[in-house]
Amino acid sequence: SHVLINFDDPAFHENPELIFQKLRNTAPIQKIILDDGFPVWLISKFNDAIEVLRDHRFIKSPNSLRTSDTDPLKGKTNRASPAYILRRFHMLANDPPNHTRLRIFAQKAFTPKLITAMRPRIQQITNELIDKIQTDKKCDFIDDFAYQLPIIVIAELLGLPVEDREKLRNWSDVLIEVQVTEKNKQSIEESADAFINYLSNVFALRRKNPGNDLISAFLRLELAEDHLTENELYATIFLLIIAGHETTVNLISNGMHSLLSHPKQLNLLKNNPDLIHSAVEEMLRYNGPVINSTMRLAAEDILINGIKIKKGEGVLVIFLSANQDEAKFDDSLRFDITRQNNKHLAFGYGIHFCIGAPLARLECEIAIKTILERLPNIKFNPDADSLEWRASNIIRGLKKFPVVF
Ligand code: HEM
């Protein structure tokens, strides 16, 4: 059938709601062929998304499917290369029982208690960021605020020097967005190698001199029975850095964009700050930062809603579309910060459900609440060019977001 969706097309990102709606109504489970010839099914309806995400026959690790692993990062020998380690040795790239072991390990240290304890510090960082922009009366909401907060928070949580965040950013940029080819393989491996070296130095320091940061907690757990290998630890920390990198910034900025685009909802929240919790859930549902799930592969032929997905084919769940499904949410294209029973998929579903969700919610809650308290007149900068959305197939976010206050 005719392919409705082109994630590379900037025009698509200007107004994805209508295209998603058409997709749900005409081709809710649609096969596309990627540039490299790989067949992938796009899942755009809420109920189908749940069915896929809870089905353990959709797997993450290609190792169990392919006879020869074609990943160029793996190399010819059995030894995993640095980039292969960072990309494949963490929970999001693995299936049970490995996934379970990796995830339980991380959750032992990344506890709700640890996150709640961050509240005063997140508030303080938020205030300091607002102090810096307040007198200028204008700023770029992303560069000067929303981008800063999550990076400082994750660096402090892990116990990494905040001054290193530019370095961390460059490494993770190279390591996530980039598709590996023979040409760029070298530089990707160099970045991965530098990142692993950096972490191994941090480990050495923390082993001698532990603190109450996450890396020290991970290293203490090394003594436990189900400990991770050193390589799995590198990959886990890498995942925590990148997973918190591009997502929370866009939750905060897309959320602020939704408020500024809906003045009645904005006023409602200003007059009723206690609505912040349901407002954050609605920001996640209405225009959350993650467009698509990561790729799953069918481990056997699987029937979803009468459509046969063949063994070895890929599946992507479009979270953004599932969250706008009129069959699941009343008046689904409406932004309503009082919405109840808002069981959206913005953090995924099933065994890979986001472990950073409590942290992301807390950061967004504090960020939006404090901005509205301290900069209550915030609005779109009327002198700026029209806003542009990034043409990414993973992240939903603005390129720039000029505001005045
Ligand atoms: C997984 C969204 C912030 C750590 C996921 C998944 C989604 C998601 C949709 C599942 C992907 C899939 O199934 O293919 C978000 C959003 C965030 C956010 C919308 C912010 C608004 C964070 C933060 C951290 C984090 C701050 C940690 C510091 C993780 C990890 C996984 C994950 C470790 C993998 C879980 C597993 O495989 O079991 N996230 N995330 N995320 N997220 Fe987040």
Question: Considering only CA atoms, which of 256, 246, 244, 245 is closest in space to residue 280?
Answer: 256
Asked if residue 6 has pLDDT above 60, the reply is: yes
Tokens 């007149």 sit on residue: 377
pLDDT category, 79, cuts 50, 70, 90?
confident
Model confidence pLDDT, tens digit, residues 125-176: 999 999 999 999 999 999 999 999 999 999 999 999 989 988 888 888 777 7
**How is residue 297 written in tokens?**
């592969």
**Residue from 247, 250, 318 to probe ligand 1 pocket by mutation (most atoms less than 8 Å from CB):** 247
| 313 CA → ligand 1 middle, Å | 24
Count of structural domains, the chain: 1
Cβ–ligand 1 distance for 316 under 6 Å, the answer no
| 357 CA → ligand 1 middle, Å | 7
Task: Give the model's pLDDT for residue 298.
Answer: 97
Quick one: which atom of ligand 1 is closest to the CA of 53? 13
Model confidence pLDDT, tens digit, residues 329-383: 999 999 999 999 999 999 999 999 999 999 999 999 999 999 999 999 999 999 9
Q: Which residues are CB-contacts of 172 (< 8 A; sequence separation ≥ 6)? A: 238, 241, 242, 245
Cβ–ligand 1 distance for 285 under 6 Å, the answer no
Cβ–ligand 1 distance for 247 under 6 Å, the answer yes
Answer whether residue 367 is part of any domain. Answer: yes
Tokens 């063949």 sit on residue: 310
Cβ–ligand 1 distance for 92 under 6 Å, the answer yes
Quick one: which atom of ligand 1 is closest to the CA of 93? 37
Task: Give the model's pLDDT for residue 245.
Answer: 76
Domain span holding position 289:
10-404
In three-state form (DSSP H/G/I as H, E/B as E, the rest C), the secondary structure along the chain is CCCCCCCCCHHHHHCHHHHHHHHHHHCCEEEEECCCCCEEEEECCHHHHHHHHCCCCEECCHHHCCCCCCCCCCCCCCCCCHHHHHHHCCHHHCCCCHHHHHHHHHHHHCCHHHHHHCHHHHHHHHHHHHHHHHCCCEEECHHHHHCHHHHHHHHHHHCCCHHHHHHHHHHHHHHHCCCCCCCCHHHHHHHHHHHHHHHHHHHHHHHHCCCCCHHHHHHHHCCCCCCCCHHHHHHHHHHHHHHCCCHHHHHHHHHHHHHHHCHHHHHHHHHCHHHHHHHHHHHHHHHCCECECCCEEECCCEEECCEEECCCCEEEEEHHHHCCCCCCCCCCCCCCCCCCCCCCCCCCCHHHCCCCHHHHHHHHHHHHHHHHHHCCCCEECCCCCCCCECCCCCECCECCCEEEC
Output the CA angle 37-41-43, nearest 5 degrees.
155
Cβ–ligand 1 distance for 293 under 6 Å, the answer yes
- Looking up residue 154, the CATH number of its domain turns out to be 1.10.630.10
Answer whether residue 2 is part of any domain. Answer: no
Task: Give the model's pLDDT for residue 183.
Answer: 81
| 356 CA → ligand 1 middle, Å | 6
Task: Give the model's pLDDT for residue 216.
Answer: 94
Task: Give the model's pLDDT for residue 227.
Answer: 77
Task: Give the model's pLDDT for residue 254.
Answer: 98
Asked if residue 71 has pLDDT above 60, the reply is: no
Asked if residue 225 has pLDDT above 80, the reply is: no
Answer whether residue 356 is part of any domain. Answer: yes
Answer whether residue 192 is part of any domain. Answer: yes
- 50-77: average pLDDT: 73
Answer whether residue 5 is part of any domain. Answer: no
Answer whether residue 3 is part of any domain. Answer: no
Exposure class string for 250-281: b at 16+ Cβ within 10 A, else e = bbbbbbbbbbbebeebbebbeeeeebbebbbb
**How is residue 244 written in tokens?**
């918190």
Cβ–ligand 1 distance for 347 under 6 Å, the answer yes
Task: Give the model's pLDDT for residue 68.
Answer: 44
Answer whether residue 123 is part of any domain. Answer: yes
| 290 CA → ligand 1 middle, Å | 9
Cβ–ligand 1 distance for 90 under 6 Å, the answer no
Cβ–ligand 1 distance for 244 under 6 Å, the answer yes
Answer whether residue 335 is part of any domain. Answer: yes
| 91 CA → ligand 1 middle, Å | 11
Task: Give the model's pLDDT for residue 1.
Answer: 46
Task: Give the model's pLDDT for residue 268.
Answer: 98
What is the value of ipTM here, to two decimals? 0.98
Give pTM, 2 decimals: 0.95
| 14 CA → ligand 1 middle, Å | 25
Task: Give the model's pLDDT for residue 393.
Answer: 85
